[in-house]
């Protein structure tokens, strides 16, 4: 049987697909399932998907911006129709038994083409407030899996929704404190802060951290995932802002793979991150206190909404863009570490919020539908 995945725009659409594919393989190792992906060209995503044995087909995908731009007209009149035609050809040729859409602007052509070819469509929505692509795709979906509780998720009809959480890679739970110390060359002399900017990095987080980095390293050790695009710039600036005596407490990476991330999560005492759903549910499942800095201009303001749903449980502190100033951030970090009871409560609430079996549940739904 053939399962076709689609999605695109960020790694947040790719990692859940990988988690689901791994679960299907784990649950049904002899089933002979074949996996395909149709989406926009993305070198980073393709490298990750190829490692899982997923066959990739590229399409044009127009991005609908939330502000006036002539590029919207170009995308609507040319890129989206071309993408639908390309997706139609790929889906007709592959003839999948089911399409699973992770959302994002790159998913819409495949969903539309799949619907015209009468292919069953399942959808996953990561955020509290869905983007335009998933709002449209939901009209064609048989089932809509949601990351956040149904009562928090907006727009979709309740009868279609199943709240399961966000699929996470089980490998990130296999971290070892001993391996973390060895891998990152940790001194183990200070509390450890893990700073995550996502696969593309978060330039504004990087900029704020660099301003306070010297002061931060006087009291804390830091693992910093700066992003592939930002790594060289951050590395050059670090050479200027911190002295030799502090460098042993700072560990800079462009990107952390599954193994590296699992060890970093295990060792971290506090995590600073954007508020994409994937990041929130990973932080939750490893049970770590966090400071979330939601992206202010995210679609439908979804990162802010995601962050506050998580923070309502007492699992995180939210610092919106207007308050995310370097010295306020530094003071907030110091305050949290002075409140050991609060940190333990945040860790406990994060763990209770987590849904570690999301990938397995979705995999079982998909297989059950195909076998029946």
> For residues 17 and 312, what is the distance between their CA atoms, to the nearest angstrom?
28
Q: Please tell me whether residues 73 and 24 are part of one structural domain.
A: yes
What's the rounded mean pLDDT across residues 93-118? 95
Q: Please give the pLDDT value at position 315.
A: 97
> For residues 270 and 337, what is the distance between their CA atoms, to the nearest angstrom?
9
Closest CA to 128 of 156, 101, 159: 156
Q: Please tell me whether residues 77 and 185 are part of one structural domain.
A: no
CA atoms within 13 A on the CB side of 39: 31
Model confidence at 67, pLDDT cuts 50, 70, 90, reads: low
Model confidence at 308, pLDDT cuts 50, 70, 90, reads: very high
Whether 15 shows a pLDDT value over 60: the answer reads: yes
CB of 87 closer than 8 Å to CB of 109 = yes
Whether 351 shows a pLDDT value over 70: the answer reads: yes
Q: Please tell me whether residues 36 and 134 are part of one structural domain.
A: yes
Whether 200 shows a pLDDT value over 70: the answer reads: no
Model confidence at 201, pLDDT cuts 50, 70, 90, reads: low
> For residues 295 and 321, what is the distance between their CA atoms, to the nearest angstrom?
7
Q: Which residues lie closer than 8 Å to 349 by C-beta, 6 or more apart? A: 313, 314, 315
Whether 31 shows a pLDDT value over 90: the answer reads: no
Q: Please give the pLDDT value at position 63.
A: 64
Q: Please tell me whether residues 176 and 206 are part of one structural domain.
A: yes
Whether 340 shows a pLDDT value over 90: the answer reads: yes
Q: Please tell me whether residues 92 and 207 are part of one structural domain.
A: no
List 4's β-bridge partners, or say none: 36, 99
pLDDT in tens, 109-121: 999 999 999 999 9
Q: Please tell me whether residues 224 and 319 are part of one structural domain.
A: yes
Whether 206 shows a pLDDT value over 60: the answer reads: yes
Q: Please tell me whether residues 178 and 128 are part of one structural domain.
A: no
Structure tokens at 369: 């539908």
Q: What is the CATH number of the domain that holds 129?
A: 3.40.50.2000
Q: Is the pTM of this model over 0.75?
A: yes
Q: Please give the pLDDT value at position 72.
A: 58
- Average predicted confidence (pLDDT) for the chain: 91
Q: Please give the pLDDT value at position 64.
A: 60
Model confidence at 77, pLDDT cuts 50, 70, 90, reads: low
pLDDT over 70, % of the chain: 92
When divided into structural domains, the chain yields a total of: 2
Q: Please tell me whether residues 194 and 278 are part of one structural domain.
A: yes
Model confidence at 43, pLDDT cuts 50, 70, 90, reads: confident
Q: Please give the pLDDT value at position 75.
A: 62
What's the rounded mean pLDDT across residues 186-206? 86
What's the rounded mean pLDDT across residues 75-92? 86
364 φ, ψ (degrees, to nearest 5): -65, -40
Q: Please give the pLDDT value at position 155.
A: 85
Q: Please tell me whether residues 227 and 251 are part of one structural domain.
A: yes
Closest CA to 293 of 333, 335, 234: 333
17 φ, ψ (degrees, to nearest 5): -60, -45
Q: Please give the pLDDT value at position 86.
A: 96
What's the rounded mean pLDDT across residues 68-89? 76
What's the rounded mean pLDDT across residues 56-61? 90
Range with lowest mean pLDDT among 96-105, 148-157, 245-254: 148-157
Q: Please give the pLDDT value at position 371.
A: 87
Structure tokens at 261: 């991330």
Whether 275 shows a pLDDT value over 80: the answer reads: yes
Model confidence at 266, pLDDT cuts 50, 70, 90, reads: very high
Report the run of H or E that residue 123 belongs to, with start and end. strand 121-125
> For residues 235 and 227, what is the distance between their CA atoms, to the nearest angstrom?
11
Q: Please tell me whether residues 301 and 337 are part of one structural domain.
A: yes
Q: Would you give the distance in Å from CA 175 to the centre of its chain?
A: 19
Looking at per-residue confidence, does 95 or 29 come out higher? 95
Q: Please give the pLDDT value at position 131.
A: 83
Q: Please tell me whether residues 139 and 235 are part of one structural domain.
A: no
What's the rounded mean pLDDT across residues 357-364? 97
Q: Which residues lie closer than 8 Å to 335 by C-beta, 6 or more apart? A: none
Q: Please give the pLDDT value at position 69.
A: 60
CA atoms within 13 A on the CB side of 211: 12
Range with lowest mean pLDDT among 82-86, 159-163, 212-216, 300-304: 300-304
Q: Please tell me whether residues 364 and 333 are part of one structural domain.
A: no
Range with lowest mean pLDDT among 43-47, 204-208, 304-308, 330-334: 43-47
> What domain range includes position 278?
171-353
């Amino acid at each position: 049987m053939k399962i076709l995945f689609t999605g695109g725009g960020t790694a947040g659409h790719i990692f859940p697909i990988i988690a689901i594919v791994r679960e299907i393989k784990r649950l049904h190792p002899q089933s002979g399932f074949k996996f395909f992906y149709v989406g926009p060209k993305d070198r980073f995503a393709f490298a990750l998907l190829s490692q899982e044995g997923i066959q990739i087909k590229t399409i044009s995908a127009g991005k609908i911006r939330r502000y006036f731009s002539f590029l919207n007209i170009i995308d609507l009149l040319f890129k989206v129709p071309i993408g639908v035609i390309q997706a139609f050809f790929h889906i007709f040729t592959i003839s999948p038994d089911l399409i699973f859409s992770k959302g994002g602007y790159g998913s819409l052509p495949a969903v539309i083409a799949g619907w015209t070819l009468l292919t069953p469509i399942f959808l996953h929505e990561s955020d509290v407030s869905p983007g335009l692509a998933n709002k449209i795709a939901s009209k064609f979906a048989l089932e809509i899996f949601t990351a956040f509780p149904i009562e928090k998720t907006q727009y979709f009809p309740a009868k279609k929704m199943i709240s399961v959480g966000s699929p996470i890679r089980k490998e990130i739970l296999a971290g070892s404190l001993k391996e973390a110390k060895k891998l990152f060359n940790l001194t183990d002399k200070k509390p450890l802060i893990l700073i995550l900017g996502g696969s593309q990095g978060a330039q504004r987080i990087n900029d704020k951290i660099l301003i306070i980095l010297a002061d931060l390293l006087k009291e804390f050790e830091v693992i910093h995932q700066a992003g592939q695009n930002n790594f060289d710039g951050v590395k050059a600036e670090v050479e200027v802002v911190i002295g030799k005596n502090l460098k042993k407490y700072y560990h800079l990476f462009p990107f952390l793979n599954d193994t590296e991330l699992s060890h970093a999560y295990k060792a971290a005492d506090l995590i600073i991150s954007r508020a994409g759903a994937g990041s929130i549910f990973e932080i939750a499942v490893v049970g770590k206190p966090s400071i979330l800095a939601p992206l202010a201009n995210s679609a439908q303001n979804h990162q802010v909404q995601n962050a506050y749903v998580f923070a309502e449980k007492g699992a995180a502190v939210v610092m919106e863009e207007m308050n995310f100033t370097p010295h306020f951030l530094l003071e907030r970090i110091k305050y949290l570490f002075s409140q050991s009871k609060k940190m333990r409560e945040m860790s406990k609430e994060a763990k209770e919020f987590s849904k570690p079996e999301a990938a397995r549940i979705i995999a079982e739904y998909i297989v059950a539908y195909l076998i029946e």
